[in-house]
Structure 1
Amino acid sequence: MVDLRDLAEEVFSRLPVTSLRGARSTCKKWNTNGGHALTIWIYHCDGLLLCIAKDFASFVVWNPYTSQTLWLKPPSPHPRLDWYSYAIGYDNGSKSSCRNSYKILRFVDPLRNGFVEYEIYDLSSNSWRVLDVTSDWHIDFYARGVSLKGNTYWFSRERYRAKPAVGEPFEVADFLICFDFTTERFDPRLSLPFHTGFECTVTLSSVREEQLAVLLQVDYLLRMEIWVTTKIEPEEVSWNNLFLAVNIEPFLDFQFGMSQGSFFLDQEKRVDVVFDKDTDMRFTRNIAYVIGEGGYFTQVDLGESVEYHRPFGCSYVPSLAQIKQ
């Protein structure tokens, strides 16, 4: 029998969770640059964090290990800045042994007809460019893409054009979509090991910068499944057998808010760490839930938070990556 407290301590000893509140002291710019307060969308790639300002009018690329920061503003702000999605990656075609070719993708592409824009910022040339992108798929605006080998992956669904006739099933295709920062384009659809309905939630995570993990939450069954890739490239994916399947009803009487949440895997211990809010405390405290096979379950209080948005946890490895000023 494994002691849950010992298991949780071992998992968290290997889990660097990014915390803006705890790390702000490493860089005075964090608090003084224009009085910006940072909020929801934090994105991670290769030891760099891309953090979006609360007013969505600016963002910062930050290396917590070296304390380097670079504040940026979008070239043509749109009135609805909160609609934008972001990603950070790098050019795999760079001949330099040191990665200086980092890029930022910023886009808005609503499910129904509306304002569409795809832009990319190249840190090496300090320039913005508009991308010509036409998609027949849709990425939810709240979905956080996951960086893997310099590219970013999202869960996506086919863009439906019209409602079905009365009595006909209302289903759309679902898949992974990858933005390749080297070619600066979205690659073909990648298959999933399952099919979802609109009563399901899908969240992505990376595993040691080598594999992609997918958490499927079936809302009405209070069931959670996790799948891990055996191979993942922008144009190819293969999956292993089901990594973990857990009925969470005995532990919790609510669904995780995974639409804006995050999770982390410990493959050796076969446990899943889900970051969420404590619903009993009116969403004032951040909680990490450790869930595993055989009924293993515990929760760790990560402290109080004035933000309603859920905490973000990722597998972070310190990097000497340089941010060109």
Structure 2
Amino acid sequence: MELFRDLPKELVEEEILTRVPATYLKGLGSTCKLWNRLFNGDRRFARNHSDKAAKQFLGLISTRAFRICPIIVDLDGKVPTFEVKTELSLVDPHSKYPGAQFNVGAIFHCDGLLLCTSVDESRFVVWNPLTGETRWFQPSCRGTRGRGFALGYGENKTYKILSYYNEKDFEVYEFSSDSWRVVDDIMPPGWTLDYSDASVSLKGSTYLFGYGKDESKTQSIESLVKFDFSTEKCVLVPLPYQCKDRLFQAACVSVVKDEKLSVLLQIEDTSKTEIWVSNKVDETETTQVVSWNKVLSLDLSPDLQLCEDAKFLLDEEKKAVVISMNWMDYEDQVAAGTRSKEMIYIVGEDSEVTQVDFGMERTSPCLVGILNYVPSLVQMEQAGGKRKRWTFDM
């Protein structure tokens, strides 16, 4: 703090502190009241910091214990390693048990915020794990089990949530108005969205998979679909290629360094798996054409058949991919039903697979998933201007 006393306030706040990574600023906030207010109550500073600061990329995993845990993946050793750290604390203020943790069903990340649904989908929270800020809400009266949800933002970073159930059932929740409203005709004619939770956010828009027909109207095809929260419309983002006469065995989407899209494609009944990366996506250019470059071509074991619920993280520089999925044992039935394993696969360009097995358990309604998290000081508009905070060590 002493180093900054003689510097102009504008220089410190506008040029120096806005470039410090978010997790470091959290510790600096305790050094003086002025900085604490700046980091925790100044929306303009938070927006400038989001634009200028170096981004940190942290891995998170959701578990069948309904918790969120940081992960550490080490790709530098002879054998890659995967470590799960202590779970993050998200206290459920609506529980009848003081201090009880919120049981997280599904997670969606956008701009440093996590949209977490409860296991029964009766409640939702948008949560900034770095600052502890939360906003709790419920689905609309049209709420239906099995809906898909995505968080994004439109112009001036106005946060919204997309809720979808079938090809014509779409709703948008606006933080500014604290209300749900129905939106119509958001999909291109003849197309429907995939209702798995294989979706990601990039530059405020949501990318997920959709299904439709080719130009001849005879062949089913898959495509990425971009939902733009500014226009509240979907546009197709064609995949690098299509399977002939079939859909992909696995088609998954991820984000690379908060700049580019990546897709994992595995052809049905083969071990051939490819990872493609897009050009950089610019949030200010709504008509930008996405081009693809193949960065990995893997020949996996025939026993390693991925599924549509698989998720992955790509290290483009080291040409390695981390894949999470649930492996189902349909032959070995137990009294409570099918059993499953939480599986992590780490694969390099030599197609060598390092497997992390979390053990066989009874199937739960929560699927394992990994995702990239980018810590941020971003703040949400709260209903009635209220803000709630819980803190923990990130």
TM tier relative to shorter chain: 0.7 to 0.9
Deviation per CA, 1:236-287: give whole Å up to 9, x if none: 33334311111111xx614122x22210001111011101235579755423
1:52: how far off? 1.4
Unaligned runs of 5+ in 2: 1-55, 70-86, 333-337, 383-394
TM-score, with normalisation over the residues of structure 1? 0.78
Q: Distance in 1 between matches of 2:259 and 2:304?
A: 32
Change (3 A) 1:107 1:253: same
Query: What's the C-alpha RMSD, in Å, of the aligned pairs?
Result: 3.0
Change (3 A) 1:47 1:228: same
Unaligned runs of 5+ in 1: 1-12, 111-115, 165-169
In the alignment, which residue of structure 1 is the partner of 2:303? Answer: 253
Q: What is the percentage of aligned positions where both structures have the same residue?
A: 34
* Correspondence list, 1:266-285, <5 A: 266-278=315-327, 283-285=339-341
Q: Distance in 2 between matches of 1:154 and 1:22?
A: 22
2:303 counterpart letter in structure 1: D
Q: Secondary structure at the match of 1:65?
A: coil
Instruction: Indicate yes or no: 2:376 matched with 1:319.
Output: yes
2:201 counterpart letter in structure 1: S
In the alignment, which residue of structure 1 is the partner of 2:296? Answer: 244
Q: Distance in 2 between matches of 1:192 and 1:21?
A: 33
In the alignment, which residue of structure 2 is the partner of 1:52? Answer: 117
2:367 to 310, 314, 318: 310
* Correspondence list, 1:1-325, <5 A: 15-19=58-62, 21-22=67-68, 26-29=89-92, 32=95, 38-78=103-143, 81-91=144-154, 93-94=155-156, 99=157, 101-110=158-167, 116-133=168-185, 135=187, 136=189, 137-158=191-212, 171-187=219-235, 189-196=236-243, 197-232=246-281, 234-249=286-301, 253-257=303-307, 259-278=308-327, 283-301=339-357, 307=364, 309-325=366-382
Larger radius of gyration: 2
Please tell me whether the aligned partners of residues 277 and 283 of structure 1 are also in contact (alpha carbons under 8 angstroms): no
Q: Distance in 2 between matches of 1:308 and 1:126?
A: 29
Q: Distance in 1 between matches of 2:287 and 2:221?
A: 18
Change (3 A) 1:68 1:305: farther
Q: Distance in 1 between matches of 2:96 and 2:107?
A: 18
1:158: how far off? 1.1
In the alignment, which residue of structure 2 is the partner of 1:10? Answer: none
TM-score, with normalisation over the residues of structure 2? 0.65
Change (3 A) 1:54 1:77: farther
Q: Distance in 1 between matches of 2:67 and 2:291?
A: 37
Please tell me whether the aligned partners of residues 176 and 192 of structure 1 are also in contact (alpha carbons under 8 angstroms): yes
Change (3 A) 1:107 1:278: closer
Q: Give the number of equivalent residue pairs.
A: 288
Change (3 A) 1:314 1:134: closer
Change (3 A) 1:241 1:184: closer
Q: Distance in 2 between matches of 1:185 and 1:295?
A: 39
Change (3 A) 1:308 1:122: closer
1:299 counterpart letter in structure 2: Q
